[in-house]
């Protein structure tokens, strides 16, 4: 499903226009990004939890040459599905 497909499905289920659904989705995505950038978690009960985790710097290997390369520390985004979402998928 693409973003356009998601907007269309949201509009059909909510009765909103596609433009309103698009604005709602954009607002949701930007709010999630801003909240995660602050280091906070977002919990949508039954759906899941968005969060971040810090990854330490480490050494890796270039598979082509076998040379050791440094992999920088970074923050990664995670999503853990909630129980209702898991049940609805099975």
Q: What is the pLDDT of residues 36-87, one digit of tens each?
A: 999 999 999 999 999 999 999 999 999 999 999 999 999 999 999 999 999 9
Sheet holding 42-44, edge to edge: 42-44, 48-55, 74-81
Give the model's pLDDT for residue 51.
Answer: 96
Same domain, 35 and 60: no
The 8 Å CB, 24+ separation contacts for 23-32 are: none
Three-class SS state of 41? coil
Number of structural domains in the chain: 2
Give the model's pLDDT for residue 38.
Answer: 94
Read off the CATH number of the domain in which 68 is found. 4.10.520.10
Domain that holds residue 32: 1-40
Same domain, 70 and 52: yes
Same domain, 26 and 59: no
Give the model's pLDDT for residue 90.
Answer: 84
Same domain, 48 and 82: yes
The residue-averaged pLDDT of 26-43 equals 96
Same domain, 45 and 88: yes
Dihedral sign (CA 24, 47, 9, 32)? positive
């Amino acid at each position: 499903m693409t973003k356009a497909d998601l907007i269309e499905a949201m509009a059909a289920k909510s009765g909103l226009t596609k433009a309103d659904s698009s604005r709602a989705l954009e607002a949701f995505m930007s709010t999630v990004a801003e909240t995660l950038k602050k280091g906070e978690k977002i919990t949508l009960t039954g759906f899941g939890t968005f969060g971040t985790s810090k990854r330490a710097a480490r050494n890796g290997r270039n598979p082509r040459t076998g040379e050791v390369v440094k992999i920088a520390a970074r923050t990664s985004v995670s999503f853990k599905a909630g129980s209702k979402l898991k049940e609805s998928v099975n």
